[in-house]
A and B are shown apart, each in its own frame.
Chain A
């Protein structure tokens, strides 16, 4: 659906984004995570050419975005919705007028616009606020208006620019749920950028990690989140788990025996594996850290345990045979 080929961007002599290749599939939720200034905003804006790459090619549904003329660009932009951290609603227009705006730009007839606006407002759950002005709404409601506006012209792609970063956790969850629904029901391809791993974990299928303008890691969210390879990714994951890296290292250093991290995915998460393996191999285990959560819809568990006594090798093999990923922790 969206393809980057050697895309890069220079600002006043410095390279904000180093040449990268990336492919986003139709119907997936693709996340880009990075600190501020990592280049994720530039990457996102090169998709609808709000920012023009200094070089390389961006294709959306086969069309070369980098080569379009003004008219072609406007047509393309009507097929790509976009929502923003600060919502960017028109303060002088009501909720209904805001949602109607892209349809008016496209020159649709009045009656068709009114019907479409009503449908959209109902879809995002703010039909009751149609005649209010944005200043009268809460952050979550404003973002719903933003989403309705972005969906007005029935786009195939939705770009989310830190769409939940200005919202409280509860509102963030409800907006992410809405995005998930839209992705499933409308087969909408969603590209979102964020600095929060939690957002990636909850809605994304795949993720790319940007660090100082470099694409350092990408893959399925489960792989990247559970087995981060790059230092930056690792730190994002620790942040999402609210773990202090130094404290954790100190705790592990005090443990006796072999320290391993077990990662369970899917149904294995709920199996009473630990006790069974311990009894069979005669090892003692001491749980040092653990969590059970979900990546999008897949449950996972991660346990860090210290094994001592008995047949540790057999125990480790038994875990691996049960489909559990075993990692030695130094």
Chain B
């Protein structure tokens, strides 16, 4: 056993795994908190929707597209001054969360917009006919009806975040990605590389499984 994993410091792997989980959890919560309202707004201001506002939609859509088209590794660097102002450092777990959120919140917002578009227009019309206000339609109809789609979107977002946290490792965020790059890649310690990659793979598998189960439980169609 020791022969195979000679370079692996298990305590360090444990710490790195914990860092990755904290980065993932923190940025997922923040991405949903920002992306959900943004996605709802995108949906509502879209063409032939409840609050159709073509100018607002065009601006929001443009910002989302810019953030999504920016390669994440560039975003990490561009964000450094802003991150320092926001959390006091651009390093470590805390320094990684702002760029992770800015990178994934627009992505999640698009998924939210798409999930809401899947809601039957007839159901929205029926709610209007019952005298529902836009607020009541959003909270009472759109979000509950789109819940399976929203959970599926959150799952995809979480998995995208896993690979982003690995990339954030490059600029000193810590976590499993950081180990993989510093030891596995730069020092040719293949065993460290294998262990970190397997752990990331397991993490992704668990997230997908959990997400799928939740979607299946919430689907009433």
Contact = CB atoms under 8 A, between A and B. Distances in A.
Interface of A: 48, 50, 70, 73-78, 80, 82, 84, 86, 88-93, 101-102, 104-106, 133-135, 149, 153, 159
A88 B122 contact: yes
A105 B130 contact: yes
Contacts of A82: 126, 129-130
6 contacts: A78-B131, A82-B130, A91-B220, A105-B130, A135-B220, A135-B221
B140 A50 contact: no
Contacts of B133: 70, 74
B126 A84 contact: yes
B131 to A, nearest CB: 4
Contacts of A133: 220
B130 A102 contact: yes
A92 B126 contact: no
Interface stretch (B34-42, B108-116, B141-149, B173-181): B141-149
A70 to B, nearest CB: 8
Nearest to B122: A88
A73 B125 CA distance: 14
Given A50-B125, A82-B126, A84-B122, A90 B144 contact: yes
Interface string B163-204: 000000000000000000000000000000000000000000
B132 interface: yes
Contact of A80 (B125, B127, B129, B141): B129
B65 interface: no
A78 B141 CA distance: 17
A101 B141 CA distance: 10
Contacts of B122: 84, 86, 88
A69 B221 CA distance: 36
B140 A104 contact: yes
Nearest to B218: A92
Contacts of B127: 101, 105
A105 B132 contact: yes
A91 B145 contact: yes
Contacts of A102: 130-131
Contacts of A91: 120, 123, 145, 220-221
A80 B128 CA distance: 11
B49 interface: no
B131 A88 contact: no
B131 A75 contact: yes
Closest 4 CB pairs of A and B: A77-B131, A88-B126, A88-B122, A74-B131
A135 B221 CA distance: 5
B121 to A, nearest CB: 9
Nearest to A133: B220
B15 interface: no
B128 A105 contact: no
B136 interface: yes
A153 B130 CA distance: 9
Given A133-B220, A135-B220, A135-B221, A90 B130 contact: no
A77 B127 CA distance: 10
Contacts of B128: 50, 77
Given A86-B122, A88-B126, A106 B220 contact: no
A106 B218 CA distance: 26
Contacts of A48: 129
B130 A77 contact: yes
B129 A77 contact: yes
B129 A50 contact: yes
Task: Identify which of B126, B127, B147 gathers the most chain A CB atoms within 10 Å of its CB.
Answer: B126
A89 B123 contact: yes
A145 B132 CA distance: 18
A192 B122 CA distance: 17
Given A82-B130, A88-B123, 4 more contacts: A70-B133, A77-B128, A86-B122, A92-B147
B212 to A, nearest CB: 18
Task: Identify which of B123, B129, B133 gathers the most chain A CB atoms within 10 Å of its CB.
Answer: B129
Nearest to B133: A74
B37 to A, nearest CB: 20
Contact of B130 (A101, A134, A135): A101
